[in-house]
Structure 1
C-alpha cells in the first residue's frame, strides 16, 4: 500500500484527516491475490480453450524439425582430375593446406602440378597444434595414390623465423619453431625444407648473422635425422642475409653436414638483386655456390625493374622477366627433376595457377625439342608460340582479377584492417625492421592467399 497525495498534503500542513480522506491505496501494479476455488472438484467444469479447439480442428500439432544431417563429401581420387603432363621439368605451385595438410595433394592435382610447396603449419604463428596420426597417414596414403614423389615437394618455412637474430632469446624462439617444422616434415616423409635465412635486424654484422645461421643449421641437423635445409636467395634489403650468392656460400661453408643443405633460387629475387639474364645468373651461382646445391626454384615474374632490390611477384610473362626468360629456364636440362614452384598472384582462383602451369609445361615441351638456346634475345623464332601462351595467361587473369575486384568491393575495408593487424603482429613478433619485412611480404601474400 502507498500513501495518497491528499494524505501527504494534509500531513505537511498539519491539518487533521477527515472521514472522506483516503490515507492509502494499493500499488498500481500490484497483482491480484489468487483466490482458491472453493467449489468441490466435482463442480469444476473444464472447457477447452481456443488453442485446444483450433488444434482439434486443424489436426495434430506440428512435429519438431529433424536435425539436418551434414552432407558427406566424396573422397577425392586421381580420376577426378585431368592427367598430369609428363615432363622432366617439375612445375607446380604453393598450394593450400586448409582443412589438413593432406589436402595439399588434392589441391596440387587440381591445378595439374607435378610438384608443389606447402606450409606444414601456420606460417604466421610461433606454435600450432601438432599433426595428428590421421593427418600423417592420410598425407602418405594420398602421396602414393596420386603418384607424388617427396623429392618434388618443397615445404616453405615460417615467415617469423630469423636464425640470424643476434638476440639470443629471440633466436632461440625462432629455432624452436624451425625445429618443429623439420620434425613435421620428417613425420610426413618429406625430404626438403625451404626457408629464408634471416636478418641482422641492424644489431650485428652480416658475418656475425651468417655464423649464427650456420650454428642453427648444425644444431638442427643433429636434432633431426634426414630433412635437407634449403636456403632461399633474397632480394637485397640492407639487413637481409642471402641476397648475395657469396652470403649463401658463406653459410654453407660453415655447415658441417653439407649433404643436408641446399639452395632454392627465386627468379623474382635474383632479378631484383642482380638485374641480368637467367644464363648469366646461373653462371654466377655455379661459380660462387655450385649447381650441385640447387634443390629447387621459385618461378615468379617481377612487378619491379631490374636491380630494384624489391620482391614484388607478378604473373608469368606479365612482368619484367617476360615469357622468353621462362622458356630459357624450361630449356635448361640442369634444372630438370627439381621442384619448380609458382608463387604468383592467383586472385583467389586456382584456375590462374592451372593456366600458368599449362603454359610452363608447354614451354618445357618446346625446350625439350629444341634444347637450350642461350640468351632470351635469340628466341625470336618462337614468338608466335610465346604470344599465344601469353594471351592465355592474360585472358584467365583478366577474368578472375575483375571478378575479385567486383566481389571484394564490399569487404575491402574489413580485409585491409585484418591484413594491417596481421602485419602488426608479424612486426611485433619478429622485431625485424620495416625494410626487412617488406622483402618477404609479396611471396607471403601470394602463398597464403589459399592457405589461411
Structure 2
C-alpha cells in the first residue's frame, strides 16, 4: 500500500525525500517552487542530482512522486494577461517535473472562471490545456497532467467529475491527462464517501473488494 503526504521543500527540493522518509512515506507530493509566487525557480544541477540520488537510495522506495503547480495558476481566467501568464508558468512547471522525475506527474487545480460562468471557464481550460500539450510536446516533455477535483468554493471549476471529464475529452492528446482524486475536496463538493455505497457510486466501479 502506498501512503504519503505533501512534503515541504524548504532548504532544497532534495530535503523533501529525507522528510518523507522520516514520516514513513513511500510516496509523496511536493511543490517544485514557492507556490505563492510567480517567480520561477531555476533548479541547481547539484540540487537535482541530490534529489535523484536521495530517491534512488531511499530505503522506503518512494515512488511515485507528484508535483503540484503553483496556486496562482488559473487556466480559466477571463483576463488574458493572467491566462497566458498561467499557461507559460504551467509549461515551466512541466519542465521542472520532467527534469526531476523519471516518470513526471504534475497536479493542478483546473481554474476559476471568476464571473463568466461554468461553460466559459471549461472552454477556457480546454483551450489552455491544448496549448500546453502542444508546446510541451514540441519540447519533448514526458510530464503527465493530473487535473485535481476541487471543493467548488467560489467560481472554481472541477468540483464535479462531469466537469473534469469534459476537460479531458476536450484535450487533443488525452493520453497525457489524468485525474488526481482528492477525497476531502470531493466530500466538500457533495460526494458521499462516508460509506461503501457512496464510494462505489462516486467512483463508478467496485474498488472495495
TM-score of the superposed pair, with normalisation by structure 2: 0.89
In the TM superposition, residue 161 of structure 1 has moved relative to its aligned partner by 0.7
Q: Deviations over 1:389-423 (max 9, x none)?
A: xxxxxxxxxxxxxxxxxxxxxxxxxxxxxxxxxxx
Quick one: distance in 1 between partners of 2:77 and 2:16?
32
Quick one: distance in 1 between partners of 2:176 and 2:199?
22
Tell me which residue corresponds to 1:176.
88
Size of the alignment, in residue pairs?
Answer: 202
Tell me which residue corresponds to 1:185.
97
Quick check: which one's strand share is greater? 2
In the TM superposition, residue 271 of structure 1 has moved relative to its aligned partner by 1.1
Quick one: distance in 2 between partners of 1:277 and 1:97?
31
In the TM superposition, residue 222 of structure 1 has moved relative to its aligned partner by 2.3
Quick one: distance in 2 between partners of 1:195 and 1:154?
11
User: Residues 220 and 205 (structure 1 numbering): CA distance in 2 closer, same or farther, change over 3 Å?
Assistant: same
Q: Which of 203, 209, 218 is residue 121 of structure 2 equivalent to?
A: 209
Quick one: distance in 1 between partners of 2:201 and 2:166?
15
In the TM superposition, residue 283 of structure 1 has moved relative to its aligned partner by 3.4
Q: Which runs of 5+ in 2 are unaligned?
A: none
TM-score of the superposed pair, with normalisation by structure 1: 0.43
Q: Which of 88, 113, 118 is residue 200 of structure 1 equivalent to?
A: 113
Quick check: which one's helix share is greater? 1
* 1:114 has 2:26 as partner: yes
> Highest CA radius of gyration, 1 or 2?
1
In the TM superposition, residue 211 of structure 1 has moved relative to its aligned partner by 1.4
Task: Give the secondary-structure state (helix, strand or coil) at the position aligned to 2:3.
Answer: strand
Tell me which residue corresponds to 1:166.
78
* 4+ long deviations beyond 3 Å: 147-150, 278-287
* 1:128 has 2:40 as partner: yes
Q: Which of 266, 269, 280 is residue 182 of structure 2 equivalent to?
A: 266
CA contact (8 A) 1:274 1:281 kept: no
CA contact (8 A) 2:108 2:148 kept: yes
CA contact (8 A) 1:120 1:185 kept: yes
Quick one: distance in 1 between partners of 2:156 and 2:123?
14
Q: Which of 145, 160, 163 is residue 229 of structure 1 equivalent to?
A: 145
CA contact (8 A) 2:30 2:67 kept: yes
Task: Give the secondary-structure state (helix, strand or coil) at the position aligned to 1:234.
Answer: coil
Tell me which residue corresponds to 1:387.
none
Task: Give the secondary-structure state (helix, strand or coil) at the position aligned to 1:161.
Answer: coil
Tell me which residue corresponds to 2:68.
156
Tell me which residue corresponds to 1:34.
none
Task: Give the secondary-structure state (helix, strand or coil) at the position aligned to 1:118.
Answer: strand
Q: Deviations over 1:301-356 (max 9, x none)?
A: xxxxxxxxxxxxxxxxxxxxxxxxxxxxxxx8x4xxxxxxxxxxxxxxxxxxxxxx
Q: Which runs of 5+ in 1 are unaligned?
A: 1-88, 292-331, 335-371, 374-452
Quick one: distance in 2 between partners of 1:171 and 1:286?
31
